[in-house]
């Protein structure tokens, strides 16, 4: 008999799906948070010069008077890197979610080999470019893009889609099933974690600067670090949400749980149904 799975092999409510994602993050905290920390720090290093050019000041980096265009471009670049990072981390989370669903033990270091790095990076680049370009037209296009294509990394790794383009199409199909349930779930998770990282990234810095008198030099390096820490947790959590919800959508709409149960009853490999073959 297989070990007790870490993820429920049944349809879940929104709350259960989010709880399952946090459980996955706890189980794989070392690789997910380590990768997220590196990527979040690199992101802050990349966009610090753009913020400076736009005269955006910590801790909130809002638009400066007369420099809205530069600020909007810098913000779009930030959301482009965000889409890129979420895709990369989504592949790592998906590499953990598949085995967790069927109760199969996989070591942390073995996850990296399951992420299909070339296809994942190509998909991340595509979504990064699309995300940045979409945000130039407003936040709504970016949110729609995230909701539609947030499953792309999971589809590449778990469903084993042939290439980034088929993964994007499959992601959109999953996101729009059942009254676009997958899309709404991703957006609900994103808005929730956006509020959390806003509080973590700028709230305590703003309070501390108020108490200490707000030394500009001090804020210049502390605020990006605090945002990197907040983004580390949020990015890893959102990656887990995408992986879990993609599997839950397949259970709900494709009978993935039934296919796995049949494979086990026949004595076959219960990981085979995870691969989408239609």
Each residue's pLDDT expressed in tens, for the chain with a length of 278 residues: 444 458 999 999 999 999 999 999 999 999 999 999 999 999 999 998 899 889 888 777 888 888 899 999 999 999 999 999 999 999 999 999 999 999 998 999 999 999 999 999 999 999 999 999 999 999 999 999 999 999 999 999 999 999 999 999 999 999 999 999 999 999 999 999 999 998 887 776 766 667 666 555 677 778 888 899 999 999 999 999 999 999 999 999 999 999 999 999 999 999 999 999 87
**Cα dist from 155 to 86, 231, 247, whole Å:** 14, 24, 9
CB 103 within 8 A of CB 6: yes
- Give CA–CA dist 9/50, Å, rounded: 45
pTM for the whole structure: 0.93
Residues 134-146: b if buried by 16+ CB within 10 A, e if exposed: bbeeeeeebbebb
For residue 271, give both structure tokens. Answer: 């990981």
- Give CA–CA dist 146/151, Å, rounded: 9
What pLDDT score does 118 carry? 96
């Amino acid at each position: 008999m297989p070990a007790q799975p870490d993820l429920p092999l049944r349809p879940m409510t929104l709350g259960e799906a989010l709880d399952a994602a946090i459980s996955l993050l706890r189980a794989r905290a070392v690789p997910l948070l380590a990768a997220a920390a590196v990527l979040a720090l690199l992101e802050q290093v990349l966009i610090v010069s753009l913020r400076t050019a736009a005269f955006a000041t910590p801790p909130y980096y809002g638009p400066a008077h007369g420099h809205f265009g530069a600020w909007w471009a810098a913000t779009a670049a930030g959301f482009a890197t965000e889409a890129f990072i979420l895709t990369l981390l989504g592949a790592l989370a998906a590499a953990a979610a598949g085995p967790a669903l069927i109760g199969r033990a996989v070591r942390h270091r073995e996850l990296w080999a399951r992420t299909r790095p070339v296809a994942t990076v190509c998909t991340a680049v595509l979504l990064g470019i699309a995300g940045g370009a979409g945000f130039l037209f407003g936040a709504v296009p970016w949110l729609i893009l995230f909701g539609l294509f947030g499953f792309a990394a999971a589809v590449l790794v778990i469903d084993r889609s042939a290439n980034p383009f088929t993964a994007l199409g499959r992601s959109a199909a999953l996101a729009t099933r059942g009254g676009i349930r997958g899309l709404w779930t991703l957006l609900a998770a994103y808005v929730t974690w956006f509020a959390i990282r806003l509080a973590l990234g700028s709230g305590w810095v703003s309070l501390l600067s108020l108490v200490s008198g707000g030394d500009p030099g001090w804020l210049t390096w502390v605020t990006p670090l605090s945002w990197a820490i907040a983004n580390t947790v949020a990015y890893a959590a959102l990656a887990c949400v995408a992986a879990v919800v993609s599997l839950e959508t397949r259970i709900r709409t494709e009978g993935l749980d039934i296919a796995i149960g049949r494979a086990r009853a026949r004595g076959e490999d219960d990981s085979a149904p995870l691969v989408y073959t239609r």
